[in-house]
């Protein structure tokens, strides 16, 4: 029987409840879901990639078919190496669409055998992003309900 592995790639700096909502939806649809954290040496992330992975592993523990890994280089190369058939991405609002479409079509050109699947997180998270969460914490705002509590603790520890 065919087993579908989907890769859910991203920066996850840090993982938010919006990401988790998508992971939960993806884990229901696909046989296996691999959350792939980009190690981007050019960007200046708040959390080192090892810490982002650690947080993701902890918060995805409830889903036995979800795994977490690090990748660098081209996503489609990594997806091929892992024998993934699907790239999963979330679309929150129409503003995400243009960039996501561009990325999906470029990935399709590079690797026609891998399909990008878009899912929508709950509308409760349609305004949520890792960037805004970091800004909120930096400025002393509340982030309850936006990130898992272990992430909030680490965010506060970083900022203080």
| Minimum CB–partner distance for residue 106 and ligand PNS (Å) | 4
For ligand PNS, the closer CB: 12 or 30: 12
For ligand PNS, the closer CB: 9 or 14: 9
User: 156 catalytic, yes or no?
Assistant: no
User: 19 catalytic, yes or no?
Assistant: yes
For ligand PNS, the closer CB: 2 or 95: 95
CB neighbour burial string for 48-86, b if at least 16 within 10 angstroms, e if fewer? ebeebbebbeebbeebeebbbeebeeebbebbeeeebbb
DSSP character at residue 11: -
The dihedral sign for the CA sequence 111, 115, 121, 127: positive
User: 109 catalytic, yes or no?
Assistant: no
Residue 67: which H helix or E strand, with range? strand 66-71
Q: Which residue is nearest to ligand PNS (CB)?
A: 10
Choose among 117, 99, 105, 126: nearest CA to 30. 117
The dihedral sign for the CA sequence 67, 69, 73, 77: negative
User: 80 catalytic, yes or no?
Assistant: no
| Minimum CB–partner distance for residue 135 and ligand PNS (Å) | 16
Catalytic one of 32, 52, 89, 92: 92
| Minimum CB–partner distance for residue 32 and ligand PNS (Å) | 18
| Minimum CB–partner distance for residue 152 and ligand PNS (Å) | 19
Residue 38: which H helix or E strand, with range? strand 32-38
Catalytic one of 32, 89, 130, 134: 130
The residue ranges that bind ligand PNS (CB under 6 A) are 9-11, 38, 74-75, 103, 106-107
**Residues taking part in catalysis:** 19, 43, 92, 130
């Amino acid at each position: 029987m065919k087993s579908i592995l989907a890769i859910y790639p991203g920066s996850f700096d840090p993982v938010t409840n919006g990401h988790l909502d998508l992971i939960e939806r993806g884990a229901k649809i696909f046989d296996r879901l691999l959350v792939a954290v980009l190690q981007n040496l050019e960007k200046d992330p708040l959390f080192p990639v090892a810490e982002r992975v650690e947080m993701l592993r902890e918060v995805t523990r409830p889903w036995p078919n979800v795994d977490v890994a690090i990748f660098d280089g081209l996503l489609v190369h990594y997806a091929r190496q892992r024998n993934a058939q699907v790239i999963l991405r979330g679309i929150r609002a129409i503003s995400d669409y243009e960039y996501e479409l561009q990325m999906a079509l470029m990935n399709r050109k590079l690797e026609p055998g891998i399909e990008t699947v878009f899912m929508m997180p709950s509308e409760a998270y349609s305004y949520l992003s890792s960037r805004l969460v970091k800004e909120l914490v930096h400025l002393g705002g509340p982030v309850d309900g936006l990130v898992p509590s272990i992430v909030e603790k680490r965010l506060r520890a970083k900022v203080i």
